[in-house]
Structure 1
Amino acid sequence: MSIEVNNESGYAVDEAEFAALARHVLDAMHVHPQTDLAIMLVGTDVMSELHVQWMDEPGPTDVLSFPMDELRPGRPGDVTPAGLLGDVVLCPEVAARQARDAGHSTAEELLLLTTHGILHLLGYDHAEPEEEKEMFALQRQLLLTFLATR
């Protein structure tokens, strides 16, 4: 599994922890071990540009996901085919504001957003109430099991 973490934000993060979280999520979702994923951390200027370009919405957002091979989760004993999962782009400045509002650390918010972004790459969405319930429950479970192991 190739997980590349590229921090262009200037915000200090533990890149190894992001890679470990991604590996945990992909293993739990039965994604092929030779699947590639990129995680980028960018400043608000870059995130604003991406947000306008891809979502036609102004200003920076917390996380964007850019799927490549449209891989989906596997099942126990039956992993997905190998491929390029895609890119998760995070904005630590936006995450820091959200973390303050939620009452936890920026690092925890960034890990939550990373999990959220990977689930989007795997086809999960939260546009409808039932989808949101499923995705957010899975997101919480994955993050809690990861945090319990560190």
Structure 2
Amino acid sequence: MASVMVRRQNVPRAPLTRAQTERVVESLLARERLPATVEISILFADNETIQELNRDYRGIDAPTDVLSFPLHTRAELEAADDEAEVLLGDVVVSVDRAREQAREQGHSLSQEVALLLAHGVLHLVGYDHGSPEEAERMREAERQVLAGAAYLDRAR
């Protein structure tokens, strides 16, 4: 079960409906079988906003497509009581970058945003892509999450 807070900053409208956003998150949580009820904050932003966050938190003064700010390790999440309510963290998606990448990949903005959202939330639950093996594991998880949420076209 998830509580999803969706906000937007400097974008005229969210690229996914609330139901679509929740579908991606619920698909991921069902796949991961986390014991606790979780809360996630999602921000749809422009390149300027995500560049500022990327600079402030990662020391990289450039826009990126998605940022994740996890509050717990995977071990902490797995150890959480079934009755616990756990704040997983925040995901920020650049709608500007998503639009560019969707155009490059030849699919819809909503498809790209769903992929970026899945990628970001996977980071919140402990996935990374620092090695080729980790990257492949994460790509497979993205595919499964998007399939479960009915976004089947592409995963990194």
TM-score by length of 1: 0.87
Higher strand share: 2
Aligned pair partner of 2:130 in 105, 127, 140: 127
Q: State percent identity of aligned pairs.
A: 34
Structure 2 contact 36–86 (Cα < 8 Å) conserved: no
Aligned pair partner of 2:34 in 31, 36, 51: 31
Inter-partner Cα distance in structure 2 for 1:89 and 1:99: 17
Say yes or no: does 1:7 pair with 2:8. Answer: yes
1:53–1:38 Cα change, 3 Å: same
Q: Which runs of 5+ in 2 are unaligned?
A: none
Residue 62 of structure 1: aligned partner = 65
Aligned pair partner of 1:46 in 21, 38, 49: 49
Q: Which runs of 5+ in 1 are unaligned?
A: none
1:113 partner letter: L
Deviation readout 1:33-60 (Å, 9 max, x if unpaired): 5211111101111111001111111221
1:147–1:80 Cα change, 3 Å: farther
Over aligned residue pairs, what C-alpha RMSD do you find? 2.2
Equivalenced residues, count: 146
1:29–1:7 Cα change, 3 Å: same
1:96–1:42 Cα change, 3 Å: same
Structure 2 contact 37–82 (Cα < 8 Å) conserved: no
1:80–1:124 Cα change, 3 Å: farther
Structure 1 contact 71–85 (Cα < 8 Å) conserved: no
